[in-house]
Structure 1
């Protein structure tokens, strides 16, 4: 969604790019991970709306309606639903895999949609990136860090490498780590937040360096 009318088609370019990238990663995930469930990101198209004589056309994006109960399994800032920790363990595993697959450069998250016996049908994804290239919802390294603070690896992803809190001992102040823990508690209590924790540039540089070192390691840990 956008605030107000959209009068230029390129305003939706980032949205379409996110869907395309998420869809590509989901297809690759299916090939690489031995799991009998499909992840489908909905097809989304851009349309021109005729607003009448003497008025500029507006531009919207639309997708097929998703049938069934709508669920949110994780957010772009570390929230993971109880269902994703049990019956739908594939959801956080896919988020984890996307980080490993891209060597720490990107992470697909904000997974939501419906499911049936044939798989999951997902809409409105977010992609986090180290250089924040995927629009306003891309909260970058902060979102990646909050995900791994909350994520408990399951049978699907337990062998994949990941950053752990002990990786930052002696590198980040206790005050910052305590603030992360406080934010983690807020994240666990809901899917949306009035404010997100922003790292200073110094902290960002430290976290990125540690994350990349782990993500680029040759061996799974």
Structure 2
């Protein structure tokens, strides 16, 4: 069984007069579905920043991360770690009629909150709902035999479960998009992770490090490009 939440619609009207929200990589616009089973319900449209709206590989990479995240969430559900359901919003690539620009469209999430980041930030509330999300991240690392870490968890918590959107995955090989900080990111995350009531003490962890490579940030931290040592510095070039 796949725990997903899809558009289930064919048309939307997006209000582009005002940005609804903005993250590290994307701007978010609010709209509503105008045709299909979700007609009349709210949705959001997400655009990548930095002029990437016409570049298909950004969207393909994003959707691959979503597919991988869905598999992790399904495995977490099958393991029966918590009773509450966790649904994942599944965006689709749609196109603006007027401009031909690509956008990611998905259903709106109410009660939006951040559960953790890709540097290991997490609210220290002692709340069971937050601890369940930290357990999901820890489980992903254990269940993948230390290859992947599902993190940057955000979305809405409801009476009987969660809806998540836009998660990140970090990997040993640093191949899961711009929010994948690689082994240093995984170590930074676990440097700050505190197991709660839903973590299993037998779950795997990386070897502890004395100092985290990345500072804790509530927002998403983007991986830096490696320095090209063979090239002259930009400061030596006349603007």
TM-score, normalising length: structure 2: 0.66
User: Which residue of structure 2 lines up, in the alignment, with residue 112 of structure 1?
Assistant: 154
User: Which residue of structure 2 lines up, in the alignment, with residue 42 of structure 1?
Assistant: 89
User: Which residue of structure 1 lines up, in the alignment, with residue 231 of structure 2?
Assistant: none
User: Which residue of structure 1 lines up, in the alignment, with residue 195 of structure 2?
Assistant: 153
Shift in alpha-carbon separation, 1:161–1:14, aligned structure 2, 3 A: same
Q: Distance in 2 between matches of 1:78 and 1:15?
A: 21
User: Which residue of structure 1 lines up, in the alignment, with residue 117 of structure 2?
Assistant: 75
Match of 1:32 among 59, 79, 82: 79
Q: Distance in 2 between matches of 1:124 and 1:15?
A: 9
User: Which residue of structure 1 lines up, in the alignment, with residue 6 of structure 2?
Assistant: none
Matched, 1:58 2:112: no
Q: State the Cα deviation string for residues 15-65 of structure 1 (Å, max 9, x = none).
A: 11111111111011000134201111112100122335xxxx211111111
- Give the secondary-structure state (helix, strand or coil) at the position aligned to 2:98: coil
1:102-181 map, 5 Å:
102-159=144-201, 160-165=203-208, 177=210, 180=211
Shift in alpha-carbon separation, 1:5–1:153, aligned structure 2, 3 A: closer
The answer as to whether partners of 2:179 and 2:222 remain within 8 angstroms in 1 is: no
Shift in alpha-carbon separation, 1:193–1:21, aligned structure 2, 3 A: closer
The answer as to whether partners of 1:5 and 1:58 remain within 8 angstroms in 2 is: no
List alignment gaps of at least 5 residues for structure 2. 1-25, 27-47, 226-239
Give the aligned length: 177
The answer as to whether partners of 2:87 and 2:162 remain within 8 angstroms in 1 is: yes
Shift in alpha-carbon separation, 1:90–1:193, aligned structure 2, 3 A: closer
Shift in alpha-carbon separation, 1:136–1:120, aligned structure 2, 3 A: same
TM-score, normalising length: structure 1: 0.72
Question: In proportion to residue count, which structure has more helix?
Answer: 1
User: Which residue of structure 1 lines up, in the alignment, with residue 127 of structure 2?
Assistant: 86
The answer as to whether partners of 1:142 and 1:197 remain within 8 angstroms in 2 is: no
Q: State the Cα deviation string for residues 102-158 of structure 1 (Å, max 9, x = none).
A: 111111000011111121111110000111111111111112101111111122214
List alignment gaps of at least 5 residues for structure 1. 169-176, 199-221
Range with bigger deviation, 115-124 or 43-52: 43-52
RMSD (Å), alpha carbons: 2.6
Q: State the Cα deviation string for residues 72-123 of structure 1 (Å, max 9, x = none).
A: 110011111124x432211111100000111111110000111111211111
Q: Distance in 2 between matches of 1:194 and 1:124?
A: 14
The answer as to whether partners of 2:170 and 2:176 remain within 8 angstroms in 1 is: yes
- Give the secondary-structure state (helix, strand or coil) at the position aligned to 1:89: helix
User: Which residue of structure 2 lines up, in the alignment, with residue 7 of structure 1?
Assistant: 54
